[in-house]
Amino acid sequence: MVGIKPILKSNPRDLTAEKKYYATAISQGTIDFERLAYLVSNQCTVRESDCYAVLRALEHNIMDELKQGKIVQLGDLGNMQVGVSSNGEVLASDVSSASVKKAHLNFRPGVKLRDMLEITKYKIVS
């Protein structure tokens, strides 16, 4: 169950409008690679240390492929790829790597992940 709590926010489109409370998802903690490796090892015949090594190799290879400009498909989890924010240039020929202000990751969840969000339940936390 995902915890939510009310947060008072202003409308960015109309700063003079009355502030309203919006439901905001609240983290229930974090899970690290060691814990994931432990959980995976309990669901199969592979040792925890082997699961950890595979997760680290996956992390390394995902970053390598993203640096090469590839879309990384993670099965039912979804796809990720590098996106950029850049300065606008008057001419197309003026666009260069110097135009890039910063990079970010675009993640598109897969069907199973989107379906999970549809059935997720929520509870108010304080």
Answer whether residue 107 is part of any domain.
yes
Dihedral sign computed on CA atoms, order 67, 68, 70, 73: negative
Answer whether residue 43 is part of any domain.
no
For residues 47, 53, 35, 113, the Cα torsion angle rounded to the nearest 10 degrees is -110
Answer whether residue 78 is part of any domain.
yes
Answer whether residue 41 is part of any domain.
no
Answer whether residue 12 is part of any domain.
no
pTM of the predicted protein model: 0.80
Residue 25 has pLDDT above 90, yes or no: yes
Q: Does residue 65 contact residue 41 with C-beta atoms inside 8 Å?
A: no
Answer whether residue 33 is part of any domain.
no
Answer whether residue 106 is part of any domain.
yes
Residues 30-82: tens digit of each pLDDT: 999 899 999 999 999 999 999 999 999 999 999 999 999 999 999 999 999 99
Answer whether residue 104 is part of any domain.
yes
pLDDT of the residue at 122: 96
What count of Cα atoms within 13 Å lies in the side-chain half-sphere of residue 70?
A: 10
Domain with 76 in it? 71-88+99-118
Question: What is the total count of domains within the chain?
Answer: 1
**CA–CA separation, 61 vs 81, rounded Å?**
13
Query: And the tokens for 56?
Result: 């680290």
Q: Does residue 79 contact residue 107 with C-beta atoms inside 8 Å?
A: yes
